[in-house]
Amino acid sequence: MPTMLSLKLLRFSRLRPASYHFRSMSTVVDSLPEPKRQKMTKIIGTHNGTFHCDEALAVFLLRQTATYRDAGLKRTRDPAVLATCDIVVDVGAVYDESKQLFDHHQRGFTEVFGHGYETKLSSAGLVYKHFGKEVIANKIQLPITDAKVEVLWLKLYREFIEALDGIDNGVSQYPSDIKPKYRNRTDLSSRVGQLNPWWNQPTDAVTVDARFETASALTGSEFFGRLDYYANAWLPARDLVIASVANSKATFDPTGKIILFEQFLPWKEHLFELESDASATEVEPNQAIYVVYPDETAGNWRVQAVPVTPESFESRKALPEAWRGLRDEELSKASGIEGGIFIHASGFIGGNKTKEGALKIAQAALSM
């Protein structure tokens, strides 16, 4: 005997065309209210078993994007299961961005980051290449087209991602005939590897998948920590170097040989990077000879000779030999500049009690 509810459902169905019962899943999803659609989460696929730093970071980065935010995860090597995932990383032997497949193990894979970098990409590098700008822009709350996003994207690849690519692909930092003097197992890739179960611990899927999530969180924490530093300390210092070069040329040294920094900041790395950057027109290669800046703690001022390279102890033009090793009144008398504090024995740095005195040391040294 049909119930009242079943009779109502029957009448309802007769009012609808037959095609109503066979709508595609995408049509059904599109018709759902936004909150219900969001609950149907995307799925990221990667391999099961022992995990590595590259796919742990790749999964973390994907979860910072609009498309894969808070996505679920399937760790498997079963092609049928992977085919149900929305994106697959580090497994499947296919790299095809249009199909959201990001593996790097297959024969013939030679993808690199570009922009002068030649290290073959891992799954971390692949995901970062395609999604990194979005992750950075979202985190620092700037449009993805902002020039600062591009600068940070390139910087983080150089300082953070490339090493993970190299380690995962077995690319040595040094010629193979050089034997290291010690072992280093404190890098991020090693620490992720140590999160895998020991040989005598449980290796069931639930246990290993939970450890993978811990590893992914670890890589993400370090990535965002580095991004935080570069966005909020490194990048502002870079901007100050550019502004200081322009201001120094405009106010007291049009030749650009002396750069005045009104506050202490890490300038050396930025100066050399900007000198090699063709787009940084304010900073010309090998132009700067001396930089003048306030002492970090004492309230005095320093004048420092720019080195030949960032790591070099040799200066482009060391402070005058006649002043080296002198201090205080002896230095002031020899240089004819009041307020002298010291000139280092190698001539790479000196000090004066005032900004004006430090600038006079730099200006006099140029002509000697």
- What was the pLDDT predicted at 212? 98
User: Could you tell me what percent of the chain has a pLDDT over 90?
Assistant: 82
For range 124-145, the mean pLDDT = 98
Paired strand residues for 43: 72
Q: How far apart are CA 85 and CA 176, in angstroms?
A: 40
Paired strand residues for 44: 73, 87
Q: How far apart are CA 80 and CA 90, in angstroms?
A: 16
- What was the pLDDT predicted at 278? 77
Cα dihedral across residues 243, 246, 252, 258: positive or negative: positive
Per-residue CA distances from 264 to 52, 274, 299 (Å): 40, 18, 11
For range 320-340, the mean pLDDT = 98
Q: Give the pLDDT band of residue 177 (cuts 50, 70, 90).
A: confident
| Secondary structure (3-state) at 85 | coil
For range 20-37, the mean pLDDT = 40
- What was the pLDDT predicted at 38? 47
How does the average pLDDT of the chain come out, rounded?
A: 90
Q: Give the pLDDT band of residue 12 (cuts 50, 70, 90).
A: very low
The tokens for 242 are: 């550019």
- What was the pLDDT predicted at 24? 35
For range 49-78, the mean pLDDT = 98
- What was the pLDDT predicted at 150? 97
Indicate whether 234 pLDDT > 60: yes
